[in-house]
Amino acid sequence: MNGRRGTSYRTKRRSARFTLIILFLVALGLFFSGRNNGSVLERNRTSVENFGSSALHYLTMPLRGLENFGESIDARSKAYEENERLKAELARLSDVEARANAMAIKLSRLSNILNVDPATDIPDQKIAARAVSEINGPFVRSSLINVGAKKGVSKGDAVMTVDGLYGHVIRVGSKSSRVLKLEDLNSRVAVMSKRSQSRAILIGKNSRIPALSYVIDAADWAEGDVVITSGDDGVLPLGLPVGTVRVTADGTFLVDLFIHKNFVDWVWVYPYEEIRPPEENLVELDVAAIEQDTSVNVPIANDANVAGEDNNIEPRPDTGTDGL
Amino acid sequence: MLADEVTVIKARIIAIQAGIALFVLVILANGTFNFVGHTIPFLFVPLIVIYFWPKGADPALTYIVLFLCGLVHDFLNGGSPGIWPMVFMIGWMITRPYLSSKEVGLTLFWFGFVVWMGVLALVFLLLDFWGQDHIAIGNVIFQIGVAILVFPLLYGIRLLLRNTVFGGMD
């Protein structure tokens, strides 16, 4: 009996060890294949995200209740100060609105004179979503939102909070989407200073505060400058608010993101059609089509006399000046 | 012979039960919870379930369950697939020899968890070194801190469930 038990134990240990080795190798394989080619598990990933998004929506409801309770106590305790601040801001904004209306009329007149379209790139359509999972992990900073392709979200769309730019969509499922936050190590966004309109690239560092890189002239950037998207990358629209510049002692430009002013709960997605680079194949096709057109038209165009005769256009009389 | 089969089935059921607990915690760990102006990360909290893993669980099935739950964790938090299955399996391998000496009281059990988390942090650093990626060390420490703070709460819930639902079974 003991002998059989010993054999069974050894078999169990051996099978466990074998399972561990196989699964560890599979995990390693997934890790490296996922890094080099994200599409291997893409379909499974979006399915899990769709399920996770729905599950998290319901499972975290009690937590949301707690959050809202805490927030409402906090809001009540600051109600008086908040009211005073809002009154002051309302007074300031009334003046700003009057100026903005005057500017809009002026802009409209100028655009009519110059025949240009001064409309902003920021789309009018917004898709409201809830950030059901916000991950600030050691490897990745991303978020899962509960809208997907069914609601019109597509890859590359900008995601905003009420305070500013949150990130952009990197993967779209039918009911959920994965958002790469500005703080993520892989995030690169073309930005500019609202004051000097100097360009730079905002680079995520897997920390709360991303940095500005490719700053051509440091003199164009100063502490407190408001950073907005420049639209130069053709991926995000121009003018989305990002944050304010902070200069460190060693001269590095960091950006305090506006999104950190409040909890991120509700967000909205801007469906924006990114500007794609010209397609080489299309150009080749066009050239072929043009050549084909030309092959039909050229003989008629070159044969001026025939065309002239057909259209009853008299040939230009020879004045004899060419011979002088 | 029959007794052996019953033991095997029981061991598998225990592994699946623990797997369900891990799965639920993996889902919850990917939720967002904001507290006093900060988003509290719970990514490392599922590791507590691995530390609590029942000693009677079937080892082969345990590895499979850990692998699958780790993969779901990776998918939900948007990271490279494969990291969490490795962390879960390595974590269980480290804690497995000590499963039989669990009944030591909260303080010593908690202290063991702190040491175990330290070892896992080293595993993370190793994975980071392999992956040629930049790991946010501050973030890892913060996450470990949160898991350490949450530990007594889950210890209490486990104790409650063990004494009420499972009739004292580990």
Q: Domain extents for chain B?
A: 2-164
Using an 8 Å CB-CB cutoff, list chain A residues near B28: 59-60
Domain B2-164 has CATH 2.60.120: no
Full residue range of the structural domain in which residue A212 is found: 121-270
Is there a domain that residue A255 lies in? yes
User: Distance between CA B94 and CA B142 in Å, rounded?
Assistant: 22
Count CA atoms within 13 Å of residue A49 on its CB side: 31
Scanning A63-122 for CB atoms below 8 A from B yields 63, 67, 70
Is there a domain that residue A104 lies in? no
pLDDT reading at B147 higher than 80: yes
A222 contact partners, CB below 8 Å, separation of at least 6: A195, A245, A247
Using an 8 Å CB-CB cutoff, list chain A residues near B20: none
B102-140 pLDDT per residue, tens: 567 778 888 888 888 888 788 777 766 665 556 677 777
pLDDT reading at B36 higher than 70: no
A175-203 pLDDT per residue, tens: 888 899 998 888 899 999 988 888 999 99
CA-nearest of A184, A172, A183, A182 to A144 is A172
Q: What is the model's pLDDT at position A323?
A: 34
- Yes or no, beta carbons of B28 and A31 under 8 Å apart: no
Q: What is the model's pLDDT at position B161?
A: 81
User: Distance between CA A202 and CA A254 in Å, rounded?
Assistant: 9
Is there a domain that residue A26 lies in? no
User: Distance between CA B159 and CA B166 in Å, rounded?
Assistant: 10
User: Distance between CA A80 and CA A89 in Å, rounded?
Assistant: 14
Is there a domain that residue A218 lies in? yes
Q: What is the model's pLDDT at position A306?
A: 37
A191 contact partners, CB below 8 Å, separation of at least 6: A199, A200, A201, A202, A212, A227, A228, A229, A230, A242, A255
Domain containing residue A203: CATH number: 2.40.10.340
Q: What is the model's pLDDT at position A227?
A: 92
Residue B15: what are its φ and ψ, rounded to 5°? Answer: -60, -40
Q: What is the model's pLDDT at position A314?
A: 42
Q: Of all residues in chain A, what percent carry a pLDDT higher than 90?
A: 11
**Average pLDDT value for residue range A50-64:** 75
Q: What is the model's pLDDT at position A256?
A: 92
A56 at the B interface (CB within 8 A)? yes
Q: What is the model's pLDDT at position A202?
A: 93
Is there a domain that residue A292 lies in? no
- Structural domains in chain A (count): 1
Search chain A and give the residue with CA nearest B143. A137
B62-107 pLDDT per residue, tens: 999 999 999 888 888 877 788 889 888 988 888 776 665 556 777 8
Is there a domain that residue A103 lies in? no
**Average pLDDT value for residue range A105-133:** 77
Q: What is the model's pLDDT at position A113?
A: 81
User: Distance between CA B103 and CA A231 in Å, rounded?
Assistant: 61
Q: What is the model's pLDDT at position B52?
A: 85
User: Distance between CA A274 and CA B118 in Å, rounded?
Assistant: 45
Q: Is the ipTM of this complex over 0.90?
A: no
Is there a domain that residue A254 lies in? yes
Q: Closest partner residue to A48 among B63, B72, B140, by Cβ?
A: B72
pLDDT reading at A315 higher than 50: no
